[in-house]
Amino acid sequence: MVLTWKERLDKAPGLSADLKRQIDAFEQDISLRKQGKVDERLFAETRLRRGAYGQRYDNGQRHDGKVPRTLPYEEKASKGPNTVWDAPGMQRIKIPYGHMTAAQMLTLAEVAEDYADGVLHVTTRQDIQLHFVHIDDTPDLMRRLGAAGITTQEACGNTVRNITACPTAGVCSTEQFDVTPYAEALSSFLLGHPDAQDFGRKFKVAFSGCAGEACGLAYMHDLGFIARTETVDGVTRRGFMFLVGGGLGAVPQKAELFTAFLPEEELLPVSQAVCRVFARLGEKKNRGKARLKHLVIKMGVGPFKEAVMEERARLTVDPRWTAYLQDLGAIPNPPTVSQASESASASESESESESESESLSEFERWRQTNVRVQRQMGYSVVTVALPLGDLTADQMRDLATVATQFSRGEGRATVEQNIVLRWVKDIDLVDVHAALSGAGLAERGAGTIADITACPGTDTCKLGIASSRGLASELRARFMERQDDLDPVVASLRIKASGCFNSCGQHHVADIGFYGSSRKRGAHAVPHFQVVLGGQWSENAGSFGLAVGAVPSKRIPEVVERVTAAYVSDRAPDESFQTFVRRIGKARVRQMLDDLTEVPGYDVSPEYYSDWGDPRVYSMSDYGVGECAGAVVPLVEFGLHASERKVFEAQLQLDAQAHDMAARVAYEAMMTAARALVERETSHAVADDDVVVREFRARLHDTKRFHDPYAGGKFALFLFHAHERLDEGIGEAEAHRRVEEAQLFIEAAHAFYERTLKEAMPR
């Protein structure tokens, strides 16, 4: 059969019917928004929930270094408040716990080239981001990803974001057990879950295999799970130390202990219960107070826990809570004895040949920083260090080839913006290094001071104040040049940079952190970075650093020089950087950096007035409104909008003479609107249609609240009638009537919703 590209895409194997429906609906929303039939606020949150995010200058304004300019886009419907339709955007792609198969890597490379700028960016939440994407291209992009088993659903917006986990889960020597299946199960369970749709803000979850390492960063998450086992009466069972209410942002908050041991079978239901409590009691109007951490602080962790456990007790049992636990024994890839012995001999042969060539010494240096021994003897984890978290599509393809050949066809993105290859046989390390070198991916220094984490900053983020990537690039280049000469205690430090106070670069938990700020000097603005010292990366982001003052961006390399030099010369034996910073104190650090804070006049040193990698005279006028939280669109509005989409579908079915289907879809449209109104009343999801009708009748019809001022209660009767006659055959005239009734019911639902909003407004 001959197929066009569109037909091939529609029939793409691997694209689930549910995801296909969602993407089709999103494409229809795009079309409706272009026609002005969807409110821009609602559309903005809709696209955010599909990972389609705004990007710098998408308000149509840009300062070119001399004057602010209006970018002359053709006037069209906006993508959201103050967001131009045709302006390039960012597409965030969810990669749960960073896990990618080689086939998925190939698809990611393809869509990066076809729809973006050919570069894939690994984020600090193990996502992949693409930049310079047009909104019109996103449905096809999503279909192609969906066919590869990748979703963008709930990658942004007020949703459960990508669930993160240690990239070495399952192969790490310090872990209690492999958290991978738990992270996978919770990701699947909460994705699109009705109880996780009505948040006032985003919601972040992380898993860690142990308490001591950094990888999971459990203390800086809304929900943090640290693997634990408990032995009672000789029976060992798995569970988690469960933390709630952590977060970074402008004011970081360390998570509170919810329980020291949450049994594995309670992981999903208790998480669901937290979602319900957060949706019901969390702040919705003031986004600055809407994260879970604010609710935990407001209630106190004890009462919060009580509320969660009461909610837990009310939940209807869901078989998914424990179904995945039956498969835990089936984790693949246990090492074999023969492989282990194979690798032992490999190590010997490597050491023999080490002295033989110069290239092998480069290999050895790479191995020191980028290779970590696995728990399973004979295997290693290789970290592919990505400068600024970026790799090209060609590199991603090469990496997929290496993964296929050497690491069981998979890789994992890390929160340090790298990718790890696991299950690499020690015998293969030389070949892996050679293959990575050929792709320009064998940069050493992973996990060292040269391996700097940075958010997008002013490069592409609307909220960026200073160039975190520019700074990171500069510092990285300086450290790479002299990494062989670095004192080991300096080499082991972590630097993280954010473009603003919102902490996407996780500066609070770095040894040396920076976040962008601005200072005025005469008529000019000067890019600065606030210096944050002594954050703790290990112990799951165990403590946050101290802000010691803002320094002009161009003098930050000197800050790093001075601070690290002081650490080398003045530290006590075995003193950590955190302890050192706290011992010498903020006053001494400030004194050390004092002269660096001075800004010469523009005429004397104009270089201070532009940022790293950006020669324009610095200006704050490009600073925009972020979409990080999205607008808080009440869930009921999504439901009412979905009902309109459905009634439109019913019209199409009528046009196609599919009367039974038209009547069915019209009924579903009414039910969608009714459900939205009922859930608004009950503050929780209601799945069953009978319950929706019963609740609708009791709460809205019998009380006459839904009654139209002129038509009375007749619109509700359309719903009840359709519900009662659902299974009856239907003729053409009846189908037409049903579709018209659905349209009227939805209008009435909108009118009712607007009446209640007016009633709620202060007089």
Residue among 51, 88, 464, 516 that touches another protein (CB under 8 A): 88
Residue among 201, 397, 528, 554 that touches another protein (CB under 8 A): 397
Does the protein bind another protein through residue 5 (CB under 8 A)?
Answer: yes
Per CB under 8 A, the segment of 54-62, 234-242, 541-549, 563-571 that binds another protein is: 54-62
Residue 757, number of CB atoms within 10 A of its CB: 11
Reference 53, options 77, 74, 79, 27; nearest CA is 79
Q: Shortest Cβ distance from residue 108 to another protein (Å)? A: 12
In angstroms, the Cα distances linking 213 to 124, 169, 218, 421, 602 are: 17, 12, 10, 19, 46
Residues 6+ apart with CB under 8 A from 380: 371, 372, 373, 374, 424, 425, 426, 429
Nearer to another protein, 144 or 201 (CB): 144
Per CB under 8 A, the segment of 34-42, 193-201, 296-304, 382-390 that binds another protein is: 382-390
Nearer to another protein, 26 or 240 (CB): 26
Long-range contacts of 273-276 (CB under 8 A, 24+ apart): 273/308, 273/309, 273/311, 273/312, 273/315, 274/223, 274/244, 274/308, 275/160, 275/190, 275/193, 275/195, 275/196, 275/199, 275/203, 276/195, 276/311, 276/315, 276/684
Contacts (CB under 8 A) with another protein, residues 641-700:
none
Nearer to another protein, 2 or 572 (CB): 2
Does the protein bind another protein through residue 387 (CB under 8 A)?
Answer: yes
Nearer to another protein, 110 or 681 (CB): 110
Q: Shortest Cβ distance from residue 110 to another protein (Å)? A: 6
Tokens 């930049």 belong to: 131
Reference 427, options 361, 334, 345, 360; nearest CA is 345
Residue among 27, 39, 40, 110 that touches another protein (CB under 8 A): 110
| Alpha-carbon dihedral sign for residues 570, 571, 577, 580 | negative
Residue among 1, 313, 317, 761 that touches another protein (CB under 8 A): 1
Dist. CA 399–CA 579, nearest whole Å:
39
Nearer to another protein, 215 or 391 (CB): 391
Compute φ and ψ for 380, nearest 5 degrees. -135, 160
Nearer to another protein, 135 or 486 (CB): 135
- How many residues sit in the footprint of another protein (CB under 8 A)? 52
Dist. CA 163–CA 761, nearest whole Å:
38
In angstroms, the Cα distances linking 22 to 152, 632, 645, 676 are: 11, 21, 12, 18
Residue among 39, 40, 86, 350 that touches another protein (CB under 8 A): 86
Residue among 392, 414, 502, 651 that touches another protein (CB under 8 A): 392
The answer for 679, left when phi > 0, alpha when psi is -120 to 50, beta otherwise, is alpha
Residue among 28, 322, 404, 473 that touches another protein (CB under 8 A): 473
Please work out, in degrees rounded to the nearest 5, the angle formed at the alpha carbon of residue 732 by the alpha carbons of 726 and 735: 40
**Tokens representing residue 241 in the block:** 């130390």
Contacts (CB under 8 A) with another protein, residues 544-583:
none
Compute φ and ψ for 39, nearest 5 degrees. -60, 140
Does the protein bind another protein through residue 106 (CB under 8 A)?
Answer: yes
In angstroms, the Cα distances linking 713 to 439, 554, 708, 745 are: 69, 69, 6, 10
Nearer to another protein, 152 or 610 (CB): 610
Nearer to another protein, 187 or 467 (CB): 467
Per CB under 8 A, the segment of 406-414, 502-510, 611-619, 709-717 that binds another protein is: 611-619
Residues 6+ apart with CB under 8 A from 614: 458, 467, 470
Q: Shortest Cβ distance from residue 560 to another protein (Å)? A: 17
Residue among 24, 34, 40, 132 that touches another protein (CB under 8 A): 132
**Tokens representing residue 76 in the block:** 């069209």
Q: How many CA atoms lie within 13 A of 95 on its CB side?
A: 30
Dist. CA 159–CA 265, nearest whole Å:
24
In angstroms, the Cα distances linking 187 to 24, 98, 153 are: 23, 12, 11
Three-state DSSP state, 536: strand
In angstroms, the Cα distances linking 624 to 71, 75, 529, 680, 762 are: 15, 20, 19, 32, 31
| Alpha-carbon dihedral sign for residues 600, 602, 606, 608 | positive
Does the protein bind another protein through residue 440 (CB under 8 A)?
Answer: yes
Q: Shortest Cβ distance from residue 645 to another protein (Å)? A: 25
Does the protein bind another protein through residue 39 (CB under 8 A)?
Answer: no
Q: Shortest Cβ distance from residue 638 to another protein (Å)? A: 30
Per CB under 8 A, the segment of 58-66, 561-569, 705-713, 730-738 that binds another protein is: 58-66
Dist. CA 288–CA 286, nearest whole Å:
5
Distance of CA 298 to the CA centre of its chain: 26
Does the protein bind another protein through residue 73 (CB under 8 A)?
Answer: yes
Nearer to another protein, 70 or 569 (CB): 70
614: β partners? 611
Beta pairing class for 119-122 and 419-425:
unpaired
Does the protein bind another protein through residue 117 (CB under 8 A)?
Answer: yes
Q: Shortest Cβ distance from residue 607 to another protein (Å)? A: 12
Residue among 459, 511, 627, 668 that touches another protein (CB under 8 A): 459
Q: Shortest Cβ distance from residue 101 to another protein (Å)? A: 15
Nearer to another protein, 102 or 665 (CB): 102
Per CB under 8 A, the segment of 85-93, 186-194, 375-383, 641-649 that binds another protein is: 85-93
Does the protein bind another protein through residue 66 (CB under 8 A)?
Answer: yes
Nearer to another protein, 477 or 726 (CB): 477
- Residues 9, 20 contacting (CB under 8 angstroms): no
Does the protein bind another protein through residue 4 (CB under 8 A)?
Answer: yes
Beta pairing class for 390-392 and 410-413:
unpaired
Per CB under 8 A, the segment of 158-166, 425-433, 434-442, 713-721 that binds another protein is: 434-442
- Residues 548, 586 contacting (CB under 8 angstroms): yes
Reference 198, options 643, 630, 683; nearest CA is 683
Q: Shortest Cβ distance from residue 458 to another protein (Å)? A: 10
Residue among 140, 681, 734, 740 that touches another protein (CB under 8 A): 140
Residue among 142, 388, 671, 692 that touches another protein (CB under 8 A): 388
Nearer to another protein, 378 or 470 (CB): 470
Beta pairing class for 419-425 and 453-454:
unpaired
Q: Shortest Cβ distance from residue 136 to another protein (Å)? A: 8
Nearer to another protein, 473 or 597 (CB): 473
- Residues 95, 120 contacting (CB under 8 angstroms): no
Q: Shortest Cβ distance from residue 477 to another protein (Å)? A: 5
Residue among 280, 562, 582, 616 that touches another protein (CB under 8 A): 616
DSSP state of 83: B
Per CB under 8 A, the segment of 84-92, 192-200, 306-314, 743-751 that binds another protein is: 84-92
Nearer to another protein, 57 or 182 (CB): 57
Q: Name the site residues for another protein (rule: CB under 8 A).
A: 1-6, 8-9, 56-57, 62, 64-66, 71-73, 86-88, 106, 109-110, 113-114, 117-119, 131-132, 134, 140, 387-388, 390-392, 394-395, 397, 439-441, 459, 470, 473, 476-477, 613-616
